[in-house]
């Protein structure tokens, strides 16, 4: 008796896979962003959702039209768009958000050769472009209005800014920088303060970060080193003069620091791969953030800090060669 004799395939080993996929990893980050988006919508109204949707539409559209065939399936363009939307002001005209998405994917990713090849975080390239092109719109911060809030400015026709209706206010960092006035920490934790959409609830962002670290969707060393560096550096300054410098807790919880540390500095493509490089990279971001916030002309510095360290990533990779097993003097003698 000779049993069934199939036509045999011949692959090479290994025949097992872990089952984690790149679109799945992107999906994890998108999932972690859902509560952040929910809180943003709760405080800033439907305009928040619309801004994120417009940025995502721009990013996905650009990838679809200009990107390699089928690239849309890896979810990365959608993720870039959503992250970009969350670092924009709530009342931003939607056409600007859309344009930011297009530029982020186009100039931030596709011209470099697509996913995996870009030097800078594409969402931040989009934001840097918008900041340069529309400085006023990018620094107009409506005060949190609550759920229904739709800003008329959202619907400004292309190439027009529209008037921001209702109240605008200063962000906690603006207050700190220009009026030396601190915002209550509880407000920062909850997120009921002015700022970009994703700059809101510190508590939700920290939880999302813990979720992502547990799923191994990013290198936990990066957010940890960013926050440690900010805490240590700003803590030292605070000890020098408590009146002049912001407290480290305020530094950690305000502005885009947490969002940037968890969702943007951790973009694997634009950050170092090896552990030691990740520590240096994260610490560099933290130090730059404190430098810019304290002595720079801008109230906020997370975007430039991350972009600068993105640029340093290839250098860090070159310097930081991990020691191969059995090479070097360690532990070869009984």
Partner 1 sequence: MMIGAFARTFRHGIHPAGHKEATEHLPVERMPFVDRYVMPLGQSAGAPSRPVVRAGERVRRGQVIAAPAAFVSSTLHSPVGGTVVGRGPGHHPSGQLVDALEIEADPYDSQRLPAGEAIPWRELTDDEFVTHVQHAGLVGMGGAAFPSHVKYKLPAGKRVRRLIANGCECEPFLTADHRTMVERAADVLRGLEILGRRLGAEEAAIGVELNKADAIAALEREIAARPLPGLPVRVVPLKVKYPQGAEKMLIDAVYGLEVPAGGLPIDVGCLVNNVGTLASLADWFDRGWPLIERVVTVAGPGVARPANLLVPVGTPVRAVLDHCGGLSAETREVVMGGPMMGMPLASLDVPVLKGTSGLLAFTEVETRLPAEYTCIRCGRCVEACPQFLNPSRLARLARAGRWEEMERYFALDCVECGSCSFSCPSGIPIVQLIRVGKAKLREQRAKAS
Minimal distance in Å, beta carbon 21 to partner 1? 5
Minimal distance in Å, beta carbon 7 to partner 1? 8
Which pairs from 236-244 meet CB under 8 Å and 24+ separation?
A: 237/290, 237/294, 244/180
Minimal distance in Å, beta carbon 41 to partner 1? 29
Residues 6+ positions from 99 with CB-CB distance below 8 Å: 58, 130
Residue 116 or residue 184: which is nearer to partner 1 going by CB? 116
Minimal distance in Å, beta carbon 29 to partner 1? 11
Residues 6+ positions from 300 with CB-CB distance below 8 Å: 171, 173, 255, 256, 292, 293
Minimal distance in Å, beta carbon 70 to partner 1? 9
| Residues in a beta bridge with 168 | 142
What is the Cα–Cα distance from 261 to 24, expressed in whole angstroms? Answer: 21
Residue 13 or residue 136: which is nearer to partner 1 going by CB? 13
Residue 69 or residue 331: which is nearer to partner 1 going by CB? 331
Residue 48 or residue 222: which is nearer to partner 1 going by CB? 222
Provide the binding-site residues for partner 1, judged by CB under 8 A. Answer: 1-6, 8-18, 20-25, 74, 76, 114-117, 216, 219, 268-269, 271, 273-274, 321-327, 330-334
Minimal distance in Å, beta carbon 122 to partner 1? 12
Residue 5 or residue 136: which is nearer to partner 1 going by CB? 5
What is the Cα–Cα distance from 231 to 247, expressed in whole angstroms? Answer: 9
Residue 25 or residue 56: which is nearer to partner 1 going by CB? 25
What is the Cα–Cα distance from 93 to 159, expressed in whole angstroms? Answer: 9
């Amino acid at each position: 008796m000779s049993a069934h004799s199939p036509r045999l395939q011949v692959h090479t080993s290994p025949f097992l896979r872990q089952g984690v996929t790149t679109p799945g990893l992107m999906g994890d980050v998108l999932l972690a962003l859902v509560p952040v988006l929910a809180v943003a919508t709760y405080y800033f109204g439907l305009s928040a959702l619309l801004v994120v949707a417009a940025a995502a539409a721009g990013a996905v559209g650009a990838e679809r039209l200009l990107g390699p065939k089928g690239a849309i399936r890896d979810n990365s363009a959608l993720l870039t768009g959503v992250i970009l939307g969350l670092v924009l002001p709530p009342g931003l005209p939607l056409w600007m958000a859309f344009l930011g998405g297009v530029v982020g994917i186009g100039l931030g990713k596709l011209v470099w050769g697509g996913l995996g090849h870009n030097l800078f975080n594409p969402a931040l390239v989009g934001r840097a472009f918008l900041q340069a092109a529309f400085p006023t719109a990018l620094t107009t911060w409506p005060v949190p209005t609550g759920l229904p809030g739709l800003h008329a400015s959202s619907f400004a026709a292309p190439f027009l800014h529209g008037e921001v209706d209702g109240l605008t206010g200063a962000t906690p960092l603006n207050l700190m920088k220009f009026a030396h006035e601190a915002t209550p920490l509880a407000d920062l934790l909850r997120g009921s303060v002015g700022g970009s959409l994703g700059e809101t609830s510190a508590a939700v962002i920290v939880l999302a970060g813990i979720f992502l670290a547990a799923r191994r969707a990013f290198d936990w060393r990066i957010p940890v080193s960013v926050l440690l560096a900010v805490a240590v550096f700003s803590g030292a300054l605070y000890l020098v003069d408590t009146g002049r410098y912001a407290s480290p807790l305020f530094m950690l919880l305000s502005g885009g620091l947490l969002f940037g540390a968890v969702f943007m500095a951790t973009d694997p493509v634009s950050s170092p791969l090896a552990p030691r490089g990740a520590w240096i990279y994260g610490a560099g971001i933290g130090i730059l953030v404190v430098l810019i916030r304290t002595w720079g002309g801008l109230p906020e510095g997370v975007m430039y800090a991350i972009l600068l360290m993105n640029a340093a990533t290839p250098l860090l990779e070159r310097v930081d060669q991990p020691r191969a097993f059995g090479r070097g003097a360690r532990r070869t003698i009984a």
